[in-house]
Amino acid sequence: MKNYHNTVKFIFGLVVIFQISSIFFGFLRPSIIYDYLDYWLLTILPLILLFLFRKTNIREQVSFYSYILLIIVFIFFQVGHYIKADFLTTYGYDSSFENLNLDSRIEHQLLIDGNNSIELNYFLGNGYKVDILNKPGNSGYPETIETLVGEPRAIIFREIDTSYLLKVKGWKVELGSESIWKLNIFSVDSNFYLDNLTLNPSSLSGTGQIYLGANLDLSLLVLNGEYEVTVSKDLPIVVKGNAQVPDSWLNATVGYLNQFDETYKLEIEIIEGSEVIFKDG
């Protein structure tokens, strides 16, 4: 029993170290601490039993089964975090919301200004969808404010007050392909997949990666910050301003052209002081 006891104790130590490392390196949200507290009968009670029976004759038996239980619970809870299991307190609050009933004839301006990450993509349909990026970070949960008059209609995403342990890396935003959008976004370490969208002149500020697809309907995009931009080979663009482009692009009077034998569909303006790298997709 003693050998088995030392083995399970060692395994439990590895599980704890692995979870601490996962939190530190951004793979596991620290809100798992709340989940352990809520299920204290499975997490804290075994630790109490280890303390109470540490000097008794049945110490090894209690310790052995307590460590076995803790190993199972800790692994089970970590897996639960990765799949967003709703029995955990962390995911008891519905972090996602949507509005699929926007007027597709009216322009909607999406406003985001926060020190968080944004993953922006599209879906076939009308409106928008929002959810959290399920990784640790400094961003609170999102809420939205919509204006109901005027044009463009503003849609503002902002943070709500969120406990430090519940904070996330950022938000996942999906925009409907049937709506008309204008983007005005500041974010960091973000990913923008711009394709199959109808966008009026838009601006992105911050840092991240951008993909410009062949089916993007956009005439002007202003970039301010540090970005790596991948451009579909089927989307003719012109880049105006200081940027790093592939050697195959033409440095013309109007700017850098990725396809000099076609009229450009999209103009990209680089704000002075920005660092933007373009790649062929």
Unique residue bearing structure tokens 């790093």: 244
Instruction: Please tell me the distance from the alpha carbon of residue 263 to that of residue 258, in angstroms, as a whole number.
Output: 10
Q: Encode pLDDT of 250-260 as tens digits.
A: 999 999 999 98
Q: Encode pLDDT of 145-182 as tens digits.
A: 999 888 889 999 999 988 888 899 999 999 999 999 99
Instruction: Please tell me the distance from the alpha carbon of residue 46 to that of residue 73, in angstroms, as a whole number.
Output: 11
Buried b (16+ CB within 10 A) or exposed e, 136-173: bbbbbbbeeeeeeeeebbbbebebeebeeebbbbbbbb
Segment 109-127 mean pLDDT: 95
**Hey, where are the domains in the chain?**
2-90, 95-280
Residue count of the chain: 281
Segment 79-86 mean pLDDT: 89
Band (pLDDT 50/70/90 cuts) for residue 65 is confident
Band (pLDDT 50/70/90 cuts) for residue 90 is confident
pLDDT of residue 56: 66
Q: Encode pLDDT of 3-24 as tens digits.
A: 666 788 889 999 999 999 999 8
**pLDDT greater than 90 at residue 213:** yes
- Global pTM reads 0.86
**pLDDT greater than 80 at residue 230:** yes
